[in-house]
Amino acid sequence: MNKFIPVNTPLFGGNEKKYLNECIDSGWISSEGPFIKKFEDSFAKSVGRKYAVAVTNGTAAIDVAITVLGIKAGDEVILPTFTIISCVMQIIRIGAIPVFVDCERDTWNMNVNEIESKITSKTKAVMIVHIYGLPVDIDQILRIAKKYNLKVIEDAAEMHGQTYKNKPCGSFGDVSTFSFYPNKHITTGEGGMVVTNNEEFYSHSLSLRNLCFQPEKRRFVHEELGWNLRMTNMQAAIGLAQLERLDEAIIRKREIGRNYNNLLAGLEDYIQLPVEKLEYADNIYWVYGIVLNKNLNINAEIIMKELADEGIGTRPFFYPMHMQPIVKNYGLNTDARYPNSEYISEFGFYLPSGLGLLNNEIEEVGFALIKVLNKYI
């Protein structure tokens, strides 16, 4: 067996070491160092926002977004069931109610045509979650939000460098969020960002990430419960260096996607490949996902195990929120069915897709997948 090819390999080829050395040489390693503001300002500019607040991770960014929008117990938030648990945790913790919609079978994004039927007098917000490489059709959501006076949270964790109708993803929500986990196009190891054009939301976000200290009053007097969500200067230094090369990252990601498409062409009767483009966006292949067709009579778990035996790392698709044991324990949406999300969760997985993936490794992955699939075709 060849060496193991992990599902993600990050790439550091810019000023990361230079900027880290500046942190070490200057002694500014904590959250008070100058790279924090540099990274925030540069990132805000890159997504067309006035304000950005760096935090510890993408989950924390979502928690802050929900809080600054004033979502409270009993309020309803509409969001896709096909997403990561991070999107519902703060909603549930504060006693609000997640209201789920199914995804589309082709793009894997939330079906925006289901949103309006889910709105009630308790609905306060819609959460957009862009999935795997293609953005949600945002215009329709913004029209609905305006019609019903709803707030919009845009989770753009996977969308660094992606656009919707040539406008940056992350520029559409009342508050939008990003993740800088190692599998993202921009990584700080762990990290996240809250972005907005609203000065009040910005100020509140700054306070929440820093234990709600009150600079204008005595330091250790608090009138609100916040979190310690501060990003370090060293993380921000890495993030700034990564941001400087984002355009190159997107070019490479699309190249990886094309290479996989070429290798796997002709298998469309057995696997669903990612949609290459929509009228409003070209895929950036944050991950290269595939969905097995029913005629193979096997699920993703079987193929993933066999690929692991061939030295290929994979990850399953998200497990739908309405099926999560913890969500069921709260008595939420326990009887609802979302067939598209349920199907792609069982039959979908993604292949090695990181920026550090080499072309010869893409070929190894593709050939290994074809080898495994041929057992069932």
What integer pLDDT is reported at residue 216 of this predicted model? 75
What integer pLDDT is reported at residue 168 of this predicted model? 98
The CA-CA-CA angle for residues 288, 294, 298, to 5°, reads: 80
> What are the residue ranges spanned by the domains of the chain?
16-243, 247-373
Which residue, among 291, 277, 262, has the nearest Cα to 365 in the 3D structure?
262
Q: What average pLDDT score do residues 116-124 get?
A: 97
Q: How far apart are CA 169 and CA 161, in angstroms?
A: 7
Instruction: Tell whether domain 247-373 is in CATH 3.20.20.70.
Output: no
pLDDT beyond 60 at 1: no
Q: What is the pLDDT of residues 158-214, one digit of tens each?
A: 999 999 999 999 999 999 999 999 999 999 999 999 999 999 999 999 999 999 998
Q: Provide CB contacts within 8 A for 359, sequence distance 6+.
A: 259
- Structure tokens belonging to residue 102: 């199914």
Taking each helix axis as running N to C, give the angle between helix 86-93 and helix 58-68, from 0 to 180 degrees, rounded to the nearest 10. Answer: 40
Q: What is the pLDDT of residues 239-291, one digit of tens each?
A: 999 999 999 999 999 999 999 999 999 998 999 999 999 999 999 999 999 99
Q: What is the pLDDT of residues 300-357, one digit of tens each?
A: 999 999 999 999 999 999 999 999 999 988 887 667 899 999 999 999 999 999 999 9
Name the class of domain 16-243. alpha beta
Exposure of 105 in the CB half-sphere (CA atoms within 13 A): 9
Q: How far apart are CA 161 and CA 180, in angstroms?
A: 13
What integer pLDDT is reported at residue 333 of this predicted model? 65
Confirm whether 16-243 and 247-373 share one CATH topology.
no
